Amino acid sequence: MPKVAVIKFPGTNCDYDVAWALRVADGLEGQVVWYEDFTLSGWDAIIIPGGFSYGDYLRAGAIAARTKVIEKVAEAVEKGLPLLGICNGFQVLVESGLLPGALLGNESGSFVCRWVRLRIERPRGPWMLLLEEGQELSMPVAHAEGRYFIDEETYLKELLNSPLLRYAEGFNPNGSMYDIAGVASRDGSVFGLMPHPERASEEVLVPRGYSPDGKLIFQSLAIALRRGW
């Protein structure tokens, strides 16, 4: 069975949630790994889950992004291992330069926890095999620093040529530029997003009017790891 490393920093709090979602979505084995114990071998994919690494007292994800384990993660990415950053994990990927842009404090000045609708553009790569161009997805967000910021040049050159996840109209919860909720590398193997797919992977957790679309991301990975992408 393919094995997915779920990296846990001090302050990470969605680690077991992600491992659970991997299992219920498609029987993937997610193993929670303490950041100091992480080694490169033996993994088929890596997820950096949400939480508040090191308390995020400085800037979300800033300290975790400068740990040794992130160097190892970068090495894994060069070898082609799929990498997913959720919420704080996305912040870590942006802080470490593995994905472009920056994540700033929400426009409201407050933490926000609510369900949103999203739309995917140019889906490709291991995390999006089951997604179709323009498909609407619902998932919840829960963050204080999720306002995506990018310079125009990179947006036009890179993001518009890569998979891109946007908040649907009227659902931007934080003031993100271009309504961006998640970005990916050109081939889609590195994907980071603010919404929490692990909280939208089972029908029982979904409020009325939304759907458990987060599981499509984990199911995509399961298929990708079995058949390639």
Catalytic residues: 87, 196, 198
CB 79, min distance to another protein, A: 29
Tokens 């491992």 sit on residue = 19
168, burial (CB in 10 Å: exposed 0-12, middle 13-18, buried 19+): middle
Q: Which of 142/168 has CB closer to another protein?
A: 142
Q: Does 68 bind another protein (CB under 8 A)?
A: no
Q: Does 155 bind another protein (CB under 8 A)?
A: no
CB 147, min distance to another protein, A: 16
Between CA 63 and CA 189 the distance in angstroms is 24
Q: Which of 139/190 has CB closer to another protein?
A: 139
The SS3 call for residue 142 is strand
Q: Does 166 bind another protein (CB under 8 A)?
A: no
Contact region for another protein (CB under 8 A) — 10-18, 148-156, 160-168, 184-192?
A: 10-18
109, burial (CB in 10 Å: exposed 0-12, middle 13-18, buried 19+): exposed
The residues with which 112 forms a beta bridge, in sequence order, are: 143
Choice from 66, 68, 114, 226 touching another protein (CB under 8 A):
114
Closest to 213 measured CA to CA, from 121, 142, 139: 139
CB 32, min distance to another protein, A: 11
The SS3 call for residue 158 is coil
Cβ–Cβ under 8 Å, residues 186 and 177: no
Choice from 20, 149, 171, 210 touching another protein (CB under 8 A):
20
Between CA 111 and CA 219 the distance in angstroms is 29
CB 102, min distance to another protein, A: 21
Q: Which of residues 189-208 bind another protein (CB under 8 A)?
A: 196, 198-199, 202, 204-205, 207-208
Cβ–Cβ under 8 Å, residues 144 and 110: yes
- Which residues contact another protein (rule: CB under 8 A)? 10-11, 13-14, 17, 20-21, 34, 50-52, 54-57, 108-114, 140, 142, 144, 196, 198-199, 202, 204-205, 207-208
